Amino acid sequence: MDYKELMEKAKKASENSYSPYSNFPVGACVLAESGKTYIGTNVENASYGATICAERSAIVNAIVNGERKLCAVAIYGPKMKRCAPCGPCRQVINEFRSDNGVDIILEGDNGELELHTIDELLPLGFDL
Ligand code: THU
């Protein structure tokens, strides 16, 4: 799967964001080891704390569909350049890492894709 295509899916998913409190839509798309992709978006809540991020909603979508190992996650926030995953999302991404880790794809300057890794974004990640 081409990472550009993965980012396009993340962008599309951001259009379904439910974010009336922050007005900060985010979309994500994960590529699982099976080769299948799963989208997610942030879903906010009046209690604020019950909000789920786009990355975790995409990962939950993948897990519900039987996936366990993720190869890549593309993340897109139309209001921010290089919309990087929050701390808890980094930990959740790490939970389902493939044997080769997980690539994190962001959109940087001039719409260029930026490639990071979960090991770079979550050094010494906790694991049991
Ligand atoms: N958000 C995400 O969906 N992913 C992130 O990694 C950062 C934050 C969402 C949560 C909330 O709905 C909004 O962005 C503002 O924090």
Instruction: Count the Cβ atoms, other than its own, within 10 Å of residue 64.
Output: 9
> Which of 21, 24, 105, when mutated, tests ligand 1's pocket best, judged by the most ligand atoms within 8 Å of its CB?
24
Report the separation in Å between the CA atom of 42 and the middle of ligand 1, taken as the mean of its atom positions: 6
Domains, the chain: 3-121 (3.40.140.10)
80 lines ligand 1 (CB under 6 A): no
Q: Which of these, 46, 56, 44, lies nearest to 16 by C-alpha position?
A: 44
Say if residue 1's pLDDT is above 90. Answer: no
- pLDDT of 90-122, one tens digit each? 999 999 999 999 999 999 989 999 999 999 999
Average pLDDT in the chain: 97
pTM: 0.97
Which among 8, 15, 44, 55 is annotated as catalytic?
A: 55
The confidence band for 65, taking pLDDT boundaries of 50, 70 and 90, is: very high
- pLDDT of 11-28, one tens digit each? 999 999 999 999 999 999
Phi-psi region of 67 (alpha: psi -120 to 50; beta: other; left: phi over 0): beta
> Which of 41, 43, 48, 51, when mutated, tests ligand 1's pocket best, judged by the most ligand atoms within 8 Å of its CB?
51
Report the separation in Å between the CA atom of 51 and the middle of ligand 1, taken as the mean of its atom positions: 8
22 lines ligand 1 (CB under 6 A): yes
